[in-house]
Structures are given as C-alpha cells and as structure tokens.
Amino acid sequence: MKELIQISIIAIALSVDAVSATFAVGLRAENQGKKLALQLAIPFGFFQGAMVLLGAAIGLVLSKAISDYGAVLGFFLLLFIGLKTIREGLSTKDDEKASIPNAASIGLMSIATSIDALVVGATISILSFPVVFSAFIVGITTFIFCFTVYFLSRRLGKHFGKNVEVIGGVVLILIGVSLLFF
C-alpha cells in the first residue's frame, strides 16, 4: 500500500508539465472536442509511461547524464514550440481561428515534458518498485489529468480572446524555464 501511494505521488508530480502544456493548448482550442483532447492526452500519457520504462532500462549508469542534459533539451524543445505559438498568436487576425498544434508539435511537447521520467524510471528500478506497474500508473495518471484539464482550459480560453495563443506560448516557455531551475 505504501508503495502504491509513493508511485501515485510520483505519477502526479511527473504529470504536471504535461498537464501545463495541455492547459496551454486547451486555452486556444475554442471549437475542438474530444478528438483533440485524446490527441494530447494519449501521447502525453504514453511518453510519460514509456520514459519511465526506458529510464529503468538505461539504469543508474546513465541517469546522471540524462539529468544533466535532459532539462536543457526539454527547455529548448519547449522554447521552440512556445516561440512558434507566440508568433502564430501575434500574426493571427481577428477573423482567423487560433492554430492547433500538429502531430509533430504534440510529439515534441510530449517528449520534452517527459524527459524527467527517464531519471525517475532509473530511480524506480533502484528502489525495487515494480517498473511496469509504475510506468502504467504514471502514464494513466498523466492521460487522465491531461484529458480533464483540456476541457477546463477550453472554457477559460473563451474568456481570454485573441491573445490566447500568446498566453499559451508563454506558458510553454515557462515550463521549459522551470525544467532548468527546478
């Protein structure tokens, strides 16, 4: 039971970046429905869980290198996507709909927000937690949180108006900055 609680807390902590990125996309997804929610939640959940498995496979030997460079890589990926989103927001005319990220952007966000799960995967295996079960809990927690937050953020997006893409881009950049410092 104690192990399940610990894994659940780890899962919630790991999902925060993905949930924040989903929130940023949901803010500007005015006329999108369950399809986009799933297009976000599935890869975010998948990559969180997969990175835990990969981290466990890589093990402690490389966890130091991953922790040293993973945050920087995640920062640059999120900076790129955030700046692109801001540029699109600033160039969006009043009568145009805000753009929704394509599959490549969603994939990059999914990878960037799940890099920390590599180190966690190595740690989970060292602590002798059940790795596959842990990866499943991390993935399903991220999926559920992202799916739920998407719909909450859509409602907020209606109130922010035409600058919502700029807000979303800034949120993505702040997530990237947080990877470097926290």
User: What is the model's pLDDT at position 145?
Assistant: 95
pTM of the predicted model as reported, rounded to 2 decimal places: 0.73
Contact 176, 79 (CB under 8 A): yes
Question: Per-residue pLDDT tens for 25-36?
Answer: 887 776 678 999
Return the SS3 of 30: coil
User: What is the model's pLDDT at position 66?
Assistant: 59
Residues 6+ apart with CB under 8 A from 5: none
Residue 142 has pLDDT above 80, yes or no: yes
Residues 6+ apart with CB under 8 A from 16: none
The separation between the first and the last C-alpha atoms of the chain, rounded to the nearest angstrom, is 29
Q: Give the integer Cα–Cα distance in Å for 168 and 18.
A: 13
Torsion of CA 55, 60, 66, 68, to 10 degrees: 150
Residue 14 has pLDDT above 80, yes or no: yes
Residues 6+ apart with CB under 8 A from 129: 3, 6, 7
Burial of 79 (0-12, 13-18, 19+ CB in 10 A): middle
- Residue 123: both structure tokens together: 């740690």
Query: Averaging pLDDT over each range in 110-114, 137-141, 159-163, which range is the top one?
Result: 137-141
Q: Give the integer Cα–Cα distance in Å for 182 and 171.
A: 16
Residue 24 has pLDDT above 70, yes or no: yes
Contact 46, 80 (CB under 8 A): no
- Domain positions in the chain are 2-181
Q: Which of 81-85, 162-166, 174-178 has the lowest mean pLDDT?
A: 162-166
81 compared with 117, residue with greater pLDDT:
117
User: What is the model's pLDDT at position 37?
Assistant: 92
Question: Per-residue pLDDT tens for 88-134?
Answer: 677 755 444 556 788 998 999 999 888 878 878 877 776 678 999 99
Return the SS3 of 15: helix
Question: Per-residue pLDDT tens for 43-77?
Answer: 999 999 999 999 888 875 665 665 667 677 778 87
Q: Give the integer Cα–Cα distance in Å for 114 and 108.
A: 10
User: What is the model's pLDDT at position 95?
Assistant: 45
4 compared with 28, residue with greater pLDDT:
4
Q: Which amino acid is at 34?
A: K
